[in-house]
Amino acid sequence: MRSGSRPPATTPIGVVGAGTMGVGVAQCFAEAGYPVTLHDPDPAAKAAGERRLRTGLRAARLLRRPAPGDPPAEVAARVRWASAPDALADAALVVECGPERMDVKERILGTLDAACDPATVLASCTSAIPVDILAGHTGRPDRVLATHFMNPAHLKDAVEVVRGPRTSEESLATVLALLDAIGKRAHLVGDSPGFVSNRVLMPMINDAAARVEEGTADAETVDLVFTDCFGHAMGPLRTADLIGLDTVLDSLVVLRETTGDPRFEPTALLRDLVERGHRGRKSGRGFHTYEIR
């Protein structure tokens, strides 16, 4: 979806959270030439984020065709790391990439509302929480929406954009123009728990986990049914491992709370895996096992 001329390369971008998604989003903007301030108050998260950014830049050059034009060191230099939210005060857009827990995201949005210029657009990278709930924790509900980047953000071409009932045309246009400028296709959807992607995907993952839990098939076979029989690029349980089982669990909890639908009650197997630290690809083990590099 096109939205007009490219915003100038001097447009300041903010990102909250130095985890997998936050660093991936920062990389997307930095590769397109934009100055990015990445805020995370945890020094350990910052150190891990810097390593994650270097790894992501190397992966982009190896896997994306054509390869990004600027050298990795030049792209990395566009990302400024900040421990205080005040560093985001002048950003035109701030993308919030905190954990998928309602209380955490509500707190972050409230902090950003106080720290940022009144004109700043606040975009949550939430995968399940309705935009209007988050917007209600700010004094600028017209400037709040969701940009649901997919993982890994720097290698996925599309973003699910969620417009809340109070999101203004101006805020939406700002976000669509910036996404277009970084080479992302925006798919605009309305506000609802889980939106389109996770309202459909999460119960499928949960049901797939239930088939493993009850002994109908092992995880490998469940995924092969989807890849070999239906032609899916990846089965639901490998998809869950890629997303992160902790994020899947948090998303299901949000969907259960916001819809009241028992389909979203997480399976015991999923809860057990997360409790044991088996969070998917990022931990080396989830429904499947992986080599951590």
Task: Name the pTM for this structure.
Answer: 0.92
- The confidence score (pLDDT) of residue 215 equals 98
- What is the spatial distance between Cα 16 and Cα 121, in angstroms, rounded to a whole number? 13
The proportion of the chain whose per-residue pLDDT surpasses 90, expressed as a percent, equals 91
Quick one: 87 exposed, middle or buried, by C-beta within 10 A (0-12, 13-18, 19+)?
middle
For residues 254-267, average pLDDT: 97
What single string gives the DSSP state of each residue in 39-72? E-S-HHHHHHHHHHHHHHHHHHHHHSSSPPSS-H
For residues 52-62, average pLDDT: 89
- The confidence score (pLDDT) of residue 9 equals 87
Of 62-71, 109-118, 241-250, least confident by mean pLDDT is 62-71
Q: Do the strands 158-163 and 144-149 form a parallel or antiparallel pair, or are they unpaired?
A: antiparallel
- The confidence score (pLDDT) of residue 2 equals 43
pLDDT tens figures, 209-221? 999 999 999 999 9
Cis status, amide bond into 7, omega within 30 of 0: no
Q: Provide the edge-to-edge strand list for the sheet that holds 13-16.
A: 79-82, 36-39, 13-16, 93-96, 121-124, 144-149, 158-163, 185-190
- The confidence score (pLDDT) of residue 69 equals 73
Alpha-helical (H) ranges within 89-218 are 102-115, 131-135, 169-181, 197-213
Above 50 in pLDDT, residue 79? yes
Q: How far is CA 71 from CA 32, 36, 65, 162, in A?
A: 12, 17, 15, 33
Above 60 in pLDDT, residue 3? no
